[in-house]
Amino acid sequence: MRLLLCLVVLIVCIACNPKDDHCAIVESVFCNNSLCNSAISGEIDLAKRSVDCAFYSLKSTQVIKSLDRANRLLSVRLIVQRSGFNRSYLRIAKPRRLMHNKFCVIDKRVVVTGSYNPSDLEKGDADGIVVIHSRDIAAKFAQEFEELWGGVYGRGQPSPQIETALAEQCIVAYFCPEDDCAQALLNEVEKAKHEIRFVYYSFTLGELALALVRLHSLGVAVNGIFEDSQVSGYSQYWLLRHQGVDVCRAKHPAQVHHKFMVIDNTTLVIGSFNPTKSAQLYNDENMVVIKDAEVARLFAKEFSKLNKVYCQKIYKQ
């Protein structure tokens, strides 16, 4: 399966001390539905002991078949909020708002996460996932999954790594609202020295918009892409545009469903989290901060590709 994905899967071994549990091998997949489905199914098919997945929505026949195969021999658990099928290993999430997570933990050593809800519909949406090979990060996601499996939504226990999140780590995982993803994102934004590039399906969080405007006024290059269908009166597109920030509305039959930000080509922030009040305060969300130039540059290239397709702009790499 990985040979079939060689054109879209980019593997980066994060350059840091291999004795540091936060170090990892990261695979980045930029894809449409079939490619993302194949990447997720491929990881599930490699499982030896367990597969735990939490998706807002799961409607991919390929991914479901991989879960079914794994369930014959392994421990498989699945939580979804929207589902059109029944399985013995499936639980339907019943949160107050949204269980918006998008992740799988495989063998407690691999995490798959990003913006993608597995589906059979070939809409051509712009989506992306990362596959993180790290026992430490997998342990954090496994803890979050246990809370969800136990019916704890919205306000679980803060993640242990938050106490050391200010250290220069390779990867930090956040689960919201208990870990305050919005504040974690703001903390990373405030560190920007040169440039910020972001692509968000929905962006209504005023605090983040004001921080970007301030950095723009200080000379930091801020460039962003908004999904056109989500640019309402609540969207921060209007404020950023009025303040001279370089933003565009992705007008295309397909949707831009990404949720990522690249800071100074050294830090990537990605996950299920859209910068909105609902995601900040009510939804169950996940977000990872990956501090590595090679990983960040891959997403900067994805940003430039999307700009060329949707906004007719080309940025230097």
pLDDT tens, 283-305? Answer: 999 999 999 999 999 999 999 99
Q: Please tell me the predicted confidence (pLDDT) of residue 156.
A: 61
pLDDT tens, 219-230? Answer: 999 999 999 999
Q: Cis peptide before 160, with omega less than 30 degrees from 0?
A: no
Q: Please tell me the predicted confidence (pLDDT) of residue 162.
A: 44
Sign of CA dihedral 83, 84, 85, 88: positive
Domains defined for the chain, CATH in brackets: 25-150 (3.30.870.10), 170-311 (3.30.870.10)
pLDDT tens, 117-173? Answer: 999 987 778 999 999 999 999 999 999 999 999 999 876 666 655 433 444 458 999
Q: 12 with 28: CB under 8 angstroms?
A: yes
> DSSP assignment, residue 61?
H
In this prediction, residue 9 has a pLDDT band, given cuts at 50, 70 and 90, of very low
**58 half-sphere exposure, CB direction, 13 A CA radius:** 28
In this prediction, residue 26 has a pLDDT band, given cuts at 50, 70 and 90, of very high
Residue 285 CB coordination number (10 Å): 27
Q: Cis peptide before 118, with omega less than 30 degrees from 0?
A: no
pLDDT tens, 176-221? Answer: 999 999 999 999 999 999 999 999 999 999 999 999 999 999 999 9
